[in-house]
Amino acid sequence: EVIFSEVSPRPHDTGMVTLISQDLSEFALHVRAFLGMPIGAIRQYGPAASAVILPQLTSQNVTFDNVHAAVGAGVQVRLFGKPEIDGSRRLGVALATGENVEEAVIRAKKAASRVTVKG
């Protein structure tokens, strides 16, 4: 028997760091476990971190600016595709690698802060 509290076709935003930190993401691991597939060795790329893009506004037509300024070597931005916001809502995450976790956190927060959300 399998019981779910929530089903979502994506990794949770706090687990999205696995998209940049290793060769099998949280989502890939869930699918393999659910289907009874072997996981095998997971290759770690190194220290990584995520920082949420969490604006405060009300809009039915959200747009993003400066995403190009946020991404680069070892830094990705993942937008969730949510078209509307009323108050505070997680609209994406910045993912970053670093020489250590502290550096990765700084890089992820810097990238997230560069993304401007308008509505």
Residue pLDDT, tens place only, 38-60: 998 999 999 999 999 999 999 99
Question: What is the value of pTM for the model shown?
Answer: 0.84
7 vs 18: which has the higher pLDDT: 18
Residue 8 lies in a domain: no
Q: Of the candidates 88, 87, 69, 91, which has an alpha carbon nearest to the alpha carbon of residue 78? A: 91
> Which pLDDT score is estimated for 59?
94
Residue type at position 73: A
Asked if residue 96 is part of any domain, the answer here is yes
In sequence order, the 6+-apart residues with CB closer than 8 A to the CB of 89 are 54, 55, 82
Is 28 among the domain residues? yes
Short-list 61, 48, 45, CA closest to 14: 48
Count of domains for the chain: 1
Q: Residue 71 domain-assigned?
A: yes
Are the CB atoms for 64 and 112 separated by under 8 Å?
no
- pLDDT digit string, tens, across residues 60-113: 999 999 999 999 999 999 999 888 999 999 999 999 999 999 999 999 999 999
At 5 the pLDDT is 74
- Residue 51 is part of a domain; what is its CATH number? 3.30.470.20
Q: Is the pLDDT of residue 6 over 80?
A: no
71 contacts 111 by C-beta, under 8 angstroms: yes
Tokens for 93? 């995450």
* Mean of pLDDT values over 114-118: 96
> Would 1 be classed as within a structural domain?
no
CA-to-CA distance for 95 and 16, rounded, in angstroms? 8
Task: Give the structural domain span for 96.
Answer: 13-118
Q: Has residue 77 been placed in a domain?
A: yes
Is the residue at 46 inside a domain? Answer: yes
